[in-house]
Chains A and B, each alone.
Chain A
Amino acid sequence: MATEAVALVEGEEPGGLVFHPFDQFEIKPLFGEIGDPVSWYTISNATFWMAMAALCVIGLLVIGTRGRAVIPSRVQSAAELVYGFVYKMVEDVTGKEGLKYFPWIMTLFLFILFSNYLGLLPLAFTPTSHIAVTAVLALGVFITVTVIGFVKNGMAFLGLFWMKEAPLFLRPVIAIIEVISYFVRPVSHSIRLAGNLVAGHAMIKVFAGFAAIAALSPLSVVAITAIYGLEVLVAGIQAYVFTILTCIYLKDALHPSH
């Protein structure tokens, strides 16, 4: 939000509107000066908001359920709802064998969900809007799933790329396409999540920049409200999509024959 202040100040200058849609994504040390270098162990704003996400997860799933009540409280109800939602997703998509990986998928889902939603708070930083974070998540999924595929099926896992239904002369071509699409998976998996969040947050900042013109400011407020509503939807849907795609990739690894 310091951004907007700067934008407003600079908006007075000749040249009119000034947009800083990307200042909100800057990684800054949480303690110390703005210009300090960010080394790997520095406690940055990314660290803080990741920790907030982890605390929310613990608050919902551990502290919320400490009653272990057969008739649940509201928080416990919500925790059970999330548990049941992800559990059913894993079971429906991957089958019984996939339930072994349920904690892993639940971790991904909850981290992304809470990062997305906490990022919607004003002044907040969104860890999942950074390609470095989503790339690690997606590559983690990609590598784990590939390893599981080879460990469970051995070389039969390569049958994933060899379509038995296709005519013989088309199979090598299809195999090449399948291999390429397999390796594109982590790319699209990570860019989808980060891109959606960057686009939404940047859009809000762009409309906030228009507020510098008095005549446009009511429109700007309406637009920001509408986009914020869309972002609330997108934050949930992207967490869901990331999770269900993980489940689908896991299913491919567990049952490579289509």
Chain B
Amino acid sequence: MATETITAEEALAVHGAEAAGPGMPQLDVSSFPNQIFWLLVTLGVIYFVLSRFALPRIGAVLAERAGTITNDIAAAEELRHRAREAETAYDKALADARAEANRIVAETKAQIQADLDAEIEKADAQIAAKTAESQAAIDEIRESAARNVSEVARDVAREIVAAFGADADAAKVDAAVDAKLGERA
């Protein structure tokens, strides 16, 4: 090893003497200003580009993505909520409609019943009225018939009495006829 490195040392002494001085280029102070200057320039450029363009842009993209995801989740939640609401509303509407239908059925039934009752009542009343009227007419007819009978009977009786030649007192005859009729009646 030692001999080999001595060769290296000698080779370096010959080969690298003009550029790197005694050994490591890292320790060659004459190259430091160059490196430091260009390092500062590079760092300045990178810092400027990063702080002005790259980092705000990536930050914005990441924030936008996070926002999009959050919004999408919120929207999905909202939609689910709305679907559930719609379902309850539908159920409620159905129940309402059913109740309404029942109510209408009952109402109509009641209405029909009421109408029916009223009609029946009216018909009954009419019938009763007709009956009473007919009764009255019958009664009148009967009365008039009875009166006619008594008159006919009086007239007949008077004529018979007259035909028998008897000078009949009209009043007496009438009374007698009435009495006889009254027995029959």
Cβ contact of A133, chosen from B4, B39, B41, B62, cutoff 8 A = B39
Give the Cβ gap from A82 to chain B, nearest Cβ, in Å: 9
Q: Any chain B CB within 8 A of the CB of A136? A: yes
Rounded to whole angstroms, the CA-CA distance of A40 and B38 in the bound complex is 8
A188 contacts B by Cβ under 8 Å: no
Given the complex, which residues of A lie within 8 Å of B111, measured CB to CB? none
| CB proximity to B under 8 Å, residues A54-112 | 54, 57-58, 61-62, 65, 68-70, 72, 76, 79-80, 83-84, 102-104, 106-108, 110-111
Q: Which residues of A contact B53 (CB under 8 A)?
A: 61-62
- Please report whether the interface of chain B is mostly helix, strand, loop or mixed according to DSSP: helix
Kindly name the residue among B3, B30, B34 whose own CB sees the greatest number of chain A CB atoms within 10 A. B34
Cβ-neighbour of B25 out of A27, A50, A108, A127 (below 8 A): A27
> Does B12 touch A at the CB level, under 8 Å?
yes
Tell whether B68 is near chain A: CB-to-CB under 8 Å. Answer: yes
A25-B25, A51-B42, A102-B55 known; A39+B7 contact, CB < 8 A: no
Q: Which of A34, A68, A133 has its CB near the most chain B CB atoms (within 10 A)?
A: A133
Interface residues of A in 102-132 (CB under 8 A from B): 102-104, 106-108, 110-111, 127, 129-132
Minimal Cβ-Cβ distance residue in A for B20: A26
Given contacts A22-B24, A61-B54, is CB(A44)–CB(B61) below 8 Å?
no
Task: Say yes or no: A25 contacts B24, CB within 8 Å.
Answer: yes
Stretch at the interface among A11-19, A153-161, A215-223, A232-240: A11-19
Determine whether the beta carbon of A106 is less than 8 Å from that of B55.
yes
Please name all residues of chain A whose beta carbon is closer than 8 Å to the beta carbon of B33 when the two chains form the complex.
Answer: 39-40
Given A16-B4, A22-B20, A61-B58, residue A103 in contact with residue B30 (CB < 8 A):
no
- Chain A interface secondary structure, helix, strand, loop or mixed? helix
B26, A103: Cβ atoms under 8 Å?
Answer: no
Number of A-B contacts (CB under 8 A): 164
Q: What are the residues of chain A within 8 A of B26 when measuring CB–CB?
A: 22, 25, 129-132, 194, 198
Cβ < 8 Å to B, chain A residues 23-45: 23, 25-28, 34-35, 37-42, 44
Taken residue by residue from 6 to 24, chain B's Cβ proximity to chain A (1 for < 8 Å, 0 otherwise) reads as 0110011001101110011
* B residues in contact with A129, CB < 8 Å: 26
Inter-subunit contact A58/B60 (CB<8 Å):
no
- For A79, the chain B residues whose CB sits under 8 A away are 54, 58
Residues of A within 8 A of B65 (CB): 70
A46-B35 in contact given A15-B7, A22-B25, A53-B42 (Cβ < 8 Å): yes
B65 → chain A closest CB, angstroms? 5
Asked if B122 is at the interface (CB within 8 A of a chain A CB), the reply is no
Q: Which residues of B contact A68 (CB under 8 A)?
A: 57, 60-61
Which size bracket describes the interface of B in this complex?
A: 35 or more
In this assembly, does B125 line the interface, its C-beta being within 8 Å of a C-beta of chain A?
Answer: no
Interface size class of A (residues with CB under 8 A): 35 or more
B28 at the A interface (CB under 8 A): yes
Taken together as a complex, chains A and B put the C-alpha atoms of A65 and B15 apart, in Å, by 47
Contacts of A35 in B (CB 8 A): 18-19
A174 within 8 A of B: no
The 6 A-B residue pairs with the shortest CB-CB distance, nearest first, are A40-B33, A61-B54, A27-B31, A103-B51, A50-B42, A25-B25
Residues of chain A at the chain B interface (Cβ within 8 Å) = 6, 10, 15-20, 22-23, 25-28, 34-35, 37-42, 44, 46-47, 50-51, 53-54, 57-58, 61-62, 65, 68-70, 72, 76, 79-80, 83-84, 102-104, 106-108, 110-111, 127, 129-133, 136-137, 194, 198
Given contact pairs A18-B8, A44-B35, A132-B31, a sample of 5 additional A-B residue pairs in the complex whose CB atoms are under 8 Å apart: A10-B11, A17-B7, A35-B19, A54-B42, A111-B46
**Which residues from chain B sit less than 8 Å from chain A, CB to CB?**
3-5, 7-8, 11-12, 15-16, 18-20, 23-28, 30-43, 45-47, 49-51, 53-55, 57-62, 64-65, 68
